[in-house]
Amino acid sequence: MKKMFLGLFIFLFVCSAESAHVYKIKGEIFYRENSSAQWKKLRESDENMTLKSGYEIRTSRASSIEILMDDGSKIKMAPLSYSKLEEENQTESKLNLFAGKIRNWVKKFSKKFSIKTPTAVCAVRGTDFVTSVDAEGNTRVEVYDGRVLTSDSNGMESLVRRGQFIEVNRQGLTHPQDNPNPPQSMDSSLGDRKLIAKKEIYTDISKESILKQAQSEMQMSEYQNRKVAIDAFGNRVRMEEYIVRPAAEQFKYVVLNTRKNDFNFGKILFTFDEALPDDLSLATKNMINYEGSTEPRWVLKEMTSIISNTLDKVTEDASGGHMVADNPAAPSRFSLFFKNYAMYAAGPAQANENGGLGRFLWGYSDDNNNNRAEEGEFTFLGESAPTSYSSNPLGDNVFYNVSRNDYLGGTWIENRYMAVFDNGKIASVSDFNSGLSGSKNDVLDKLNFETVYTSSLFEGRKIDLIFSARLLKDSGIASFE
């Protein structure tokens, strides 16, 4: 009988250690069970609700949540944070922190506990520590008790001890340093809505989640365009496009493509150095190039984009944007330059690499701050530059370009880029010189841009996105004069 009781006790203990529970709620907290589900608001009556593997949680301004694990460990999310309970089972608790910060009180002799961020992984047992992620994905770990083994994406590790902190960026780990700061209260906010908006760009790629979000965002959109066109391959496409502002300093461009047998979408998030004007075109028309003796008022600081067929994706991430003068002594023209840029691609098997961006293909970092991307500042998949080629299959006078990169190890990616009229005709130089009536801006209203990606990572599938020039013109992003 004692053996039966002991066996039942162990059974109940093991079963109870497979989930986490909402412990305390302050303010507005939202959750969803998986990335395709709709966000739901937690109510005070939801305290003690079970949270299982796959649950995502985000906190609003002046809001926080405490979560209690069944082994007695506890975490507290600060305001304006976004995390995912990646794994919660008998032997392991694994969290993904996408934005904001979390304080963790991990019981000694408990199961394995780890936190993954866009740049680091923290593995602990018996520790009190804070993990935070800033707007560029940089990680900071502060240890108040115990030790935290912190590793970067290059596989380098460092043990951070009590009273120390460490920082991790996309280049790797720094050295642990003494931390003069007292333990954080978690009642203040590290980030803001900009972080949540950036993460949303490349994490929600299911058709259901994209369409649900579009239904609500279109009601708030400042620019909107709908039309049906023929793509370069003769397929009929219903195109829906809009622009919304997730935060005062941001705007997001979204395009949805529906064909008979598939669905593709694209999103680009632009983040500026200050709140944007009511007339968005005042900022967008000058964000790439600007004629003048002083730089424009609004400067594009970050850009994150994705195009996807809901299974495969290509993402680009750029930061450190600033305007560079043609002649610093007597400027007459300014051009946008990003200090950091990276491109990623992924099929379903690579979707969660690099914090959800996908498999890293290539990028650069302007380490010497001379406003040029130079040899020695580039990093490539396979640790060497890919074999590249580019061609114009229909001739140099037709707007149809094919480019391809082949990386060491067998990974390749190819892009076909075309300018296409609504009737499916690929545009040529002669169309703009003499073949069409009206101004060149009128021509833009009839023109679309189509980009097609194929890759060894996509298992035979393709991403095929077509978007209109008109919305880009109306919002000031593109123009012909």
Residues 422-441 pLDDT 10s: 999 998 888 776 545 555 66
Overall domain count for the chain? 2
Provide the pLDDT for residue 205. 80
Residue 70 clears pLDDT 50, i.e. is over it: yes
- Residue 201: inside a domain, yes or no? yes
Provide the pLDDT for residue 186. 66
pLDDT one-digit tens code per residue, 160-179: 998 999 999 888 899 999 98
Q: Are both 315 and 442 inside the same structural domain?
A: yes
250: exposed, middle or buried (Cβ count in 10 Å: 0-12, 13-18, 19+) = buried
- Read off the tokens for 149: 């083994």
- Residue 428: inside a domain, yes or no? yes
Provide the pLDDT for residue 220. 77
Q: Are both 66 and 104 inside the same structural domain?
A: yes
What CA–CA distance (Å, rounded) separates 41 from 32? Answer: 9
Q: Are both 172 and 206 inside the same structural domain?
A: no
**Can you tell me which residue has the tokens 């949680």?**
57
Q: Are both 224 and 358 inside the same structural domain?
A: yes
**Could you list the residue range(s) of the whole structural domain that residue 115 is in?**
12-178
Q: Name every residue whose Cβ is closer than 8 Å to that of residue 423 and which is 6 or more positions away in sequence.
A: 229, 230
**Mean pLDDT of the residues in the chain:** 85
Looking up residue 124, the CATH number of its domain turns out to be: 2.60.120.1440
Q: Are both 64 and 210 inside the same structural domain?
A: no
What is the DSSP pairing of strand 112-116 with strand 92-106? parallel
Judge contact between 411 and 359, C-beta under 8 A: yes
* Higher pLDDT pick, 196 / 349: 349
pLDDT range class, residue 91, cuts 50, 70, 90: confident
Q: What percent of the chain has pLDDT over 70?
A: 89
Q: With CA atoms as reference, report the closest residue to 67 among 109, 37, 97.
A: 97
pLDDT range class, residue 309, cuts 50, 70, 90: very high
- Residue 253: inside a domain, yes or no? yes
Provide the pLDDT for residue 61. 80
Lowest model confidence (mean pLDDT) among 59-63, 95-99, 458-462: 59-63
* Higher pLDDT pick, 398 / 437: 398
